[in-house]
Amino acid sequence: ETGVTQTPRHLVMGMTNKKSLKCEQHLGHNAMYWYKQSAKKPLELMFVYNFKEQTENNSVPSRFSPECPNSSHLFLHLHTLQPEDSALYLCASSQGLAGESYEQYFGPGTRLTVT
């Protein structure tokens, strides 16, 4: 148990559906992240929020829309996804962005399948 929870753990959706992934951290951290993990590929950073403000958007398609209402919650809204978007979506948090080690704590992930 890392202190970061994600729901749902598994999601199957059609290309025309709209769904949302939820992440919550109970660690009092200020930074939160969304990553995409595909088999045999490096983790891909999608979005970074620091003190609820988005600081990074790594050329992610607009069919992925993040929302960070407060420092403890992070959402990823999904619409009109493509089959290649099927992957494990990981949420992480850290105390801050810079300085010290500030290691990231990961949630268990949402296994997304787009049909």
Partner 1 sequence: GQNIDQPTEMTATEGAIVQINCTYQTSGFNGLFWYQQHAGEAPTFLSYNVLDGLEEKGRFSSFLSRSKGYSYLLLKELQMKDSASYLCAVRDSNYQLIWGAGTKLIIKP
Q: Which residues bind partner 1 (CB under 8 A)?
A: 2, 4, 40-43, 45, 48, 56, 90, 97-98, 101, 103-109
SS3 59: coil
How far is CA 44 from its chain centroid? 10
CB of 83 to partner 1, least distance (A): 21
Contacts of 94 (CB under 8 A, 6+ apart): 29, 30, 31, 33, 102, 103, 104, 105
Q: Which is nearer to partner 1, 9 or 77 (CB)?
A: 9
CB of 16 to partner 1, least distance (A): 29
Contacts of 26 (CB under 8 A, 6+ apart): 3, 4, 5, 72
Q: Which is nearer to partner 1, 50 or 78 (CB)?
A: 50
CB of 80 to partner 1, least distance (A): 27
Q: Which is nearer to partner 1, 41 or 83 (CB)?
A: 41
